[in-house]
């Protein structure tokens, strides 16, 4: 009874945030107006039938990026690697790994994307290399200038009973490898590894190394790269005295990464000097070569205040966009509208003056949206990240509502899960969100000509795939394309943002700009039907009616439908979402398959009418 009353009685409307005023005359750069689409190369398209995605495969499918409306493609690591962490352990920063192709394949892909007007970003992994890198091998032998390219420390001492060397301090690696140090018998020292012991940390207090990394950035910029997503930046430099880190709770396990306060191993002042030098390099390259702006995005899983440090400021800019993981890490299935509002608002209000927002809801390190929130919420979260003020980032397959796949222990690939063993593997593995892209209902979802793919294809590929969603009258993919079209409007690029809470489970926000169509986004987080009060939403001109710009697949409303703004006439299904606009919208044209279905109904209807007529005549007689 309360559920019914809750939706019928007037609910107080809260306006929690107003933000994002952009000078209407300001010319925005490509990275501000584009949606960035993350491709995990091993899983996107296999061109040679070995079960692993590659650069030629990405080039084969490049027209898809144009089709869906994204403006930039970011490739996860493609450099030469022994693949201990699937490319995040690099053995040569200037070579393409043979699994993905060759440098010529890369140049061909870059040329193809450029012809489509799509920018290309690479994953740059500067914190560590592979232990199979030539630098590390020479560093072990103390060869100049590589002897100090890595972080080496003497043992604190040697155990009196076993004779084993004692690590320099109590640091534990991110992957819960204890300690963060590995002893090298040849050099007779420990080397630091913030991640796997196959990933020795580079030493950014060494000037030769810093010059080498700058040369590598220049090499790829000269080969057509438009920017970099810089991996794991908080870990670049450690506190110089290498003192112990304090425990969060002395009574809990002391061999777990999460039980240490990472004051000595993250976000050190020298880190910002290093990445600031990379920003200067890219700005200088842009100016010298008269190219479009080269961009740097930084990955930092740290608290909000420290994340903002990676922006720099107007006089000393660092990253154009430190990745915003607030929605990814703070929003859960239990989150209400107020939590979403506050999460959005906290980022917008925390940004240094003149900086640009970005929004991320999925990536290669986290379960997919459909896994975290349910398939019904796929469109809602795509609406959220694409229509908030700033740049949107989409992980491959999220435009389709792809779901995590179950990966058995014998199929496991992710070292972060494998290191914990069979019983705990599923609690942390990232394999599930990295399954092959689902292109069609053909073998291996059209990803590969072989059934032996590097990770299993999701069994739902037979119905959840690009080909089916292209043909369907309504689909996640079609909704996503509508959102990409909206992102090209002045209102979404430059308009004001207002966030509302209307009942605990309904998040509403508007994007408005003088002289331009307005947009209203409504997300019903409830498991019940909800009737929002649109009369309480501030829209320029106070229009009496709005039009459905696009809707979630589970919504009763369709593109082009009219919605009155007075009262509570709009009924929103559980977990449904809508984008409304003040401008007239034409209904979505029927697809060929839909038309065929309607056409096929005509003779069936005639047959039924004839039969009914004959039956009635017989009854009369």
Tell how strand 519-524 and strand 562-564 pair up.
unpaired
Residue 526's closest CA among 502, 549, 542? 502
C-alpha span between 436 and 276 (Å, rounded): 36
- Residue 576 CA to residue 525 CA, distance in Å, equals 8
Report the distance separating Cα 574 and Cα 523, nearest Å: 9
- Hey, what long-range contacts does 15-18 have (CB within 8 A, 24 or more apart)? 15/498, 15/499, 15/500, 15/538, 16/338, 16/341, 16/342, 16/345, 16/499, 16/500, 16/501, 17/341, 17/344, 17/345, 17/348, 17/349, 17/497, 17/498, 17/499, 18/496, 18/497, 18/498, 18/499
How far is 187 from 77, CA to CA, in rounded Å? Answer: 30
Q: In DSSP terms, which residues pair with 184 in a beta bridge?
A: 189
Q: Cis (ω within 30 of 0) for the bond into 11?
A: no
Residue 378: cis peptide before it, omega within 30 degrees of 0: no
Q: Where do we find the tokens 């009219």?
A: 562
Are the C-beta atoms of 349 and 358 separated by less than 8 Å? no
Q: How far is CA 553 from the centre of its chain?
A: 22
What backbone phi and psi angles, to 5 degrees, belong to 460? -85, 5
Catalytic residue among 201, 267, 299, 403: 299
Catalytic residue (choose from 59, 89, 123, 231): 231
Residues 573/557, Cβ–Cβ less than 8 Å: no
- The 3 state secondary structure assigned to 146-207 is HHHCECEECCCEECCCCCCEECCCCCCCCCCCCCCEEEECCCCEEEECCCCCCCCEECCCCH
299 carries an active-site annotation = yes
Residues ≥6 apart with Cβ < 8 Å to 29: 292, 293
* DSSP three-state, residue 315: coil
Which residues form the catalytic set? 231, 299
């Amino acid at each position: 009874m309360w559920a019914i009353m809750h939706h019928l009685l007037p609910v107080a409307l809260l306006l929690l945030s107003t933000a994002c005023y952009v000078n209407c005359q300001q010319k925005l750069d490509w990275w501000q107006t584009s949606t960035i689409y993350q491709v995990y190369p091993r899983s996107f398209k296999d061109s040679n039938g070995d079960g692993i995605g590659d650069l030629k495969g990405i080039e084969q499918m490049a027209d898809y990026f144009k089709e869906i409306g994204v403006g930039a493609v970011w490739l996860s690591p493609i450099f030469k690697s022994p693949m201990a962490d699937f490319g995040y352990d690099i053995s040569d920063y200037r070579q393409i790994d043979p699994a993905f192709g060759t440098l010529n394949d890369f140049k061909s892909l870059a040329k193809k994307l450029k012809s489509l007007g799509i920018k290309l970003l690479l994953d740059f992994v500067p914190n560590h290399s592979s232990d199979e890198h030539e630098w590390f091998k020479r560093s072990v032998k103390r060869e100049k200038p590589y002897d100090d390219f890595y972080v080496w420390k003497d043992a604190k001492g040697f155990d009196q009973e076993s004779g084993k060397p004692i690590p320099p301090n109590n640091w534990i690696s991110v992957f819960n490898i204890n300690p963060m140090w590995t002893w090298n018998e040849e050099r007779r020292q420990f080397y630091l590894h913030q991640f796997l012991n196959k990933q020795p940390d580079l030493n950014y207090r060494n000037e030769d190394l810093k010059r080498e990394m700058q040369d590598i950035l220049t090499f790829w910029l000269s080969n057509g790269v438009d920017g970099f997503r810089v991996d794991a930046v908080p870990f670049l430099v450690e506190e110089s005295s290498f003192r112990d880190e304090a425990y969060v709770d002395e009574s809990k396990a002391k061999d777990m990464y999460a039980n240490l306060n990472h004051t000595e191993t993250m976000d050190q002042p020298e880190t910002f000097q290093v990445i600031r030098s990379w920003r200067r390099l890219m700005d200088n390259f842009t100016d010298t070569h008269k190219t479009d702006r080269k961009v740097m995005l930084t990955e930092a899983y740290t608290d909000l205040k420290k994340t903002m440090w990676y922006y720099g400021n107007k006089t000393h800019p660092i990253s154009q966009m430190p990745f915003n993981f607030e929605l990814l890490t703070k929003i859960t299935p239990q989150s209400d509208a107020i939590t979403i509002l506050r999460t959005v608002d906290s980022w917008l209000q925390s940004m240094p003056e003149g900086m640009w927002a970005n929004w991320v809801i999925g990536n290669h390190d986290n379960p997919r949206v459909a896994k975290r929130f349910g398939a019904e919420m796929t469109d809602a979260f795509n609406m959220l990240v694409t229509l908030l003020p700033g740049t949107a980032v989409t992980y491959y397959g999220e435009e389709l509502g792809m779901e995590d796949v179950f990966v058995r222990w014998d199929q496991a690939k992710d070292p972060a899960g494998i290191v914990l063993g069979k019983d705990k593997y599923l609690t942390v593995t990232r394999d599930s969100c990295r399954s092959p892209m689902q292109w069609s209902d053909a073998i291996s979802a059209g990803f590969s000509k072989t059934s032996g793919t590097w990770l299993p294809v999701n069994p739902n590929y037979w119905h959840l795939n690009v080909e089916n969603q292209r043909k369907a009258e309504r689909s996640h993919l079609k909704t996503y394309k509508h959102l990409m079209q909206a992102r090209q409007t002045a209102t979404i690029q430059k308009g004001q943002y207002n966030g509302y809470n209307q009942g605990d489970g309904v998040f509403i926000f508007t994007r408005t700009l003088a002289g331009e169509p307005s947009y209203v986004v409504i997300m019903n987080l409830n498991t019940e039907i909800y009737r929002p009060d649109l009369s309480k939403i501030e829209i320029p001109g106070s229009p009496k009616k709005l039009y459905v710009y696009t809707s979630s697949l589970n919504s009763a409303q369709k593109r082009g439908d009219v919605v009155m703004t007075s009262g509570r006439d709009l009924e929103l299904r559980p977990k449904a979402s809508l984008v409304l606009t003040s401008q007239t919208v034409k209904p979505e044209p029927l697809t060929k398959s839909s038309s065929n279905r309607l056409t096929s109904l005509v003779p069936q209807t005639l047959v039924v009418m004839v039969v009914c007529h004959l039956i009635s005549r017989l009854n009369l007689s």
